[in-house]
Structure 1
Amino acid sequence: MDLMDAARAARENAHAPYSGFKVGAAIRTRRGMVYAGCNVENVSYPEGTCAEAGAIAAMVAAGETEIAEVLVIADSPVPVTPCGGCRQRLSEFASPEVPVILADLSGEAGRMTLGDLLPGAFDRAHMALD
């Protein structure tokens, strides 16, 4: 499945009655599988869920844990990047070299790496884990 198509379809299902700002995200795993998510707002702001978090949850629920590529789409005059929390969430499952494609409704609008978006990420190396 194409990342753009998956993210677009997920965006259409976003639950954004308060902001009206629908976001879709799709991730491709190292095995080539695609998982998508959309933002889900809640009247009790900020208790909603970001699109990237939804895609990650779907990926993990399917038994996968390695992200190879990310795409985020929104109807915005400038490319929308993942929020800070989602940057950290993505870094749990993706290396700094993973491409993050930023798209608007007309198509790809920019491209960065996760390392560009989250330099100096907090990771396992910061913890006393074996």
Structure 2
Amino acid sequence: MNFNHLKNEANKVINPKKYSNYAEGGQVAAALETASGNVYTGICIDTACSLGFCAEHAAAADMLKHGETHIVKMVAVDQDGNYLAPCGRCREFLSQLDDRNDGMIVILGEDKTYLLRELLPFDWKK
């Protein structure tokens, strides 16, 4: 499987900026592809009081805004192009948006993929 299109979409929205003395963002971007083939992106927002959110959350919000919930593939990258695993909060959040999302492919490298359920073992919802 080729996932370069998702990484390219994530790279397009990377744009590190300091918004204020207390907030910055854009160092990490995520792109997810839905079952209908649409791609949604998002960036991270980091704040001094941990009130920000991850790029995966932002991409999911973009998807939800368009009425979709079923994710089939996702990637997150930093400003240096490194692949990043979704944090535990993001894993749980994405799994709750649609029961089928436990089968989404999470890209963690050029030839390194996992299903969300592999990254979220012992799911309390099952």
Report TM bin, short chain: 0.7 to 0.9
Counterpart code for 1:31: S
Which one has a larger percent strand, Structure 1 or Structure 2? 2
The answer as to 2:40 corresponding to 1:35 is: yes
* Residue pair 1:14, 1:39 contacting (<8 A) in 2 also: no
Secondary structure in structure 1 of the residue aligned to 2:103: coil
Q: Where do residues 1-130 of structure 1 align in structure 2 (5 Å cutoff)?
A: 2-10=5-13, 12-15=14-17, 22-43=27-48, 45-75=49-79, 79-92=83-96, 93=98, 94-103=100-109, 108=110, 110-123=112-125
* Residue pair 1:79, 1:110 contacting (<8 A) in 2 also: no
Q: Quickly say closer, same or farther: Cα 1:16–1:112, change in 2 above 3 A.
A: farther
| TM-score normalised by the chain length of structure 2 | 0.78
Q: Calculate percent identity across the aligned residue pairs.
A: 32
* Residue pair 2:75, 2:83 contacting (<8 A) in 1 also: no
What is the alpha-carbon distance in structure 2 between the residues aligned to residue 82 and residue 97 of structure 1? 15
Secondary structure in structure 2 of the residue aligned to 1:41: strand
* Residue pair 2:15, 2:26 contacting (<8 A) in 1 also: no
| TM-score normalised by the chain length of structure 1 | 0.76
Secondary structure in structure 2 of the residue aligned to 1:73: strand
Deviations 1:75-120 (A, max 9, x none): 57x74211110000111234322110025xxxx3632110111012
Q: Quickly say closer, same or farther: Cα 1:15–1:39, change in 2 above 3 A.
A: farther
Extract unaligned runs of 5+ from structure 1.
126-130
Secondary structure in structure 2 of the residue aligned to 1:89: helix
State the 1:23 CA deviation. Answer: 1.1
State the 1:72 CA deviation. Answer: 1.1
State the 1:42 CA deviation. Answer: 1.8
